[in-house]
Amino acid sequence: MPTLKLYQIDAFASQVFSGNPAAVVPLENWLPDATLQAIAAENNLAETAFFVPAGSSYDLRWFTPRQEVPLCGHGTLAAAYVILRHLAPSASGVEFTSRGGPLAVTRVDDDFTLDFPRLDLESTPAPPAALARGLARQPVEVFRVSSADPNYYAVYDDEAEVRALKPDMGALESLHPFGVVATAPGAVSDIVSRCFAPSYGIPEDPVTGSIHCALTPYWAARLGRTALTACQASERGGWLRCRLSGNRVHLTGSAVQYLEGTICFGE
């Protein structure tokens, strides 16, 4: 019976049962896409990360329970954790190739720093009516990026408004392929956010690294500094340190391992 190693890592967390859980499945060669998707659906976590060795780096892909996505922060952090803790423990960093471009992760003690692309927000003068209906609270302004980051970004005046949101998931699901990010200035952090992606099988994502590729340059411009702290105000919650560096964004957080196991499938 074919078997695969499976790890579950709580990313952007300093202890288990917090941050964002991601499954990580190391591969020697790529399996059929249908098999990757079936494994991700079986795991039923926000993301399952798969990687294959490619010389001195790794090819990396991410799947939600419903489909593959072009960029994922917490899945990248989880994959780097597995490589740097289990497969190459003497290394201080790892490089990936992905649909989101070249990515790198470095480790210093318990901190992992992701080197990700900068994404710039553009105003959306006429957002879909389902967006305001789904959030049930009118944002000050709405932005989006492009197909590289299929999300609407709804900006509010303060953290209390973001925390008070009780989304209509049916309305937000109708926005597919777009998810929705709500953000505001933080009360004890520079940035606060929440992220909803029900059409991807993720009603609310606990901590979403990739959205900070867009939130970091936006709030850096508004707040007048390039180093920011960010809190994602989900039930599990998570913290990131964000730094804008030209056309790149550096996201720093920690991670902890929840489980290690074996996937058994086929004959």
3-class DSSP assignment, residue 97: strand
Among residues 47, 159, 161, 173, which one is catalytic?
A: 47
Look at residue 87 and give its three-state secondary structure: helix
Place of tokens 């790149």: 248
Pairing of strands 47-54, 20-26: parallel
- Which are the contacts of 55, defined by CB distance < 8 A and separation ≥ 6? none
Provide the 8-state DSSP code for 201. Answer: T
Q: Collapse the DSSP code of 41 into the 3-class scheme (helix H, G, I; strand E, B; otherwise coil) and give the result.
A: helix
Residue 183 CA to residue 71 CA, distance in Å, equals 20
- The residue behind tokens 């039923």 is 44
What are the tokens at 136?
């049930």
CB 145 within 8 A of CB 122: yes
Alpha-carbon distances, residue 120 vs 32, 123, 127 (angstroms): 34, 10, 17
For residue 47, indicate whether it is catalytic.
yes
The residue assigned the tokens 């086929």 is 266
Phi, psi of 173 (to 5 degrees): -65, -30
Tokens 């991700």 correspond to 40
CB–CB of 113/141 below 8 Å? Answer: no
Query: Which residues belong to the active site?
Result: 47
